[in-house]
């Protein structure tokens, strides 16, 4: 093998400086080389020095105006409307919303507890009052589905970490059930247990994109755009940036 750390560093720098590849392409090349040397050639590489790294493009987040959000939400219906309304009204990430459990909703204080969010941190955010009545009705339907699952010998949901071993009966308790369960039960590929997982993210993503096109918006908006819009609209309405930061679960106010 004639190529060592020096030559590999020069090659990676060449990709960035001469070929102007994206940072993801440069990282992919690095990972491929490391894999080749370690897994195929059984050779451990040392540290790479003086690599000129490709710069990640700095893009501003897409934000919808309040009237644009209203148009999109008006086009949506059913659980897709409810999901999008909670994401926008609470500032949740899509996966945070999909992973909500019944016990995470506090209708007395109009709060949502986000457990194990990004960075493995819990936080409390707003439960939108506009969704409250619809959410209560939705949960009644979900509970009916859960009761039927139990009657048919199922109804145990996946629990985080070691809770399933510590509390073997908790998986069937109502409080741990997903707020947005999947329409069908499926086999958990890790445990081979048949259970009802939460709704797949592609369901709301597809519906949201259809809504954006249907109302004539040209912005490249996604479900995550609702989170950016939530933060922007709070700031426009006079909320201080620290409060918004806490609601979003950001470590740094700059993000």
What are the pLDDT digits (tens) for 43-72?
A: 888 888 788 888 877 677 899 999 999 999
Rounded (10°) angle between helices 66-75 and 223-236: 140
Q: Please, what is the average pLDDT of the chain?
A: 90
Dihedral sign from CA coordinates of 171, 181, 138, 245: positive
Condensed to tens digits (0 to 9), the pLDDT of residues 57-114 reads 767 789 999 999 999 999 999 999 999 999 999 999 999 999 999 999 999 999 999 9
pTM of the model: 0.76
CATH code assigned to 1-58:
1.10.150.130
Condensed to tens digits (0 to 9), the pLDDT of residues 161-196 reads 777 778 888 999 999 999 999 999 999 888 899 999
Reported as a pLDDT band with limits 50, 70 and 90, residue 251 is: low
66-248 classified as CATH 3.30.300.20: no
Domain ranges across the chain: 1-58, 66-248
């Amino acid at each position: 093998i004639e190529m060592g750390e020096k030559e590999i560093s020069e090659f990676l720098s060449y990709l960035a400086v001469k070929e102007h590849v994206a940072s993801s392409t440069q990282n992919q090349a690095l990972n491929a080389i490391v894999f080749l040397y370690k897994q195929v050639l059984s050779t451990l590489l040392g540290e790479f020095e003086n690599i000129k790294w490709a710069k990640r493009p700095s893009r501003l987040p897409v934000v919808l105006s309040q009237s644009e959000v209203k148009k999109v939400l008006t086009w949506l219906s059913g659980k897709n409307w409810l999901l999008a309304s909670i994401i926008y009204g609470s500032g949740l990430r899509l996966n945070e919303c999909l992973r909500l459990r019944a016990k995470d909703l506090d209708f007395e204080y109009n709060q949502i507890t986000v457990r194990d969010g990004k960075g493995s941190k819990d936080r409390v955010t707003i439960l939108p009052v506009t969704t409250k009545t619809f959410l209560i009705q939705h949960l009644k339907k979900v509970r009916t589905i859960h009761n039927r699952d139990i009657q048919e010998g199922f109804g145990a949901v996946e629990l985080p970490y070691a809770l399933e071993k510590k509390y073997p009966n908790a998986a069937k308790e109502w409080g741990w059930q997903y707020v947005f369960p999947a329409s069908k039960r499926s086999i958990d590929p890790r445990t081979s247990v048949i259970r009802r997982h939460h709704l797949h993210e592609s369901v709301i993503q597809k519906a949201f994109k259809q809504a954006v096109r249907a109302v004539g918006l040209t912005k490249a908006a996604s479900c995550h755009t609702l989170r950016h819009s939530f933060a922007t609209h709070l700031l426009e309405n006079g909320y201080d940036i620290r409060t918004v930061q806490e609601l979003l679960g950001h470590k740094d106010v700059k993000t």
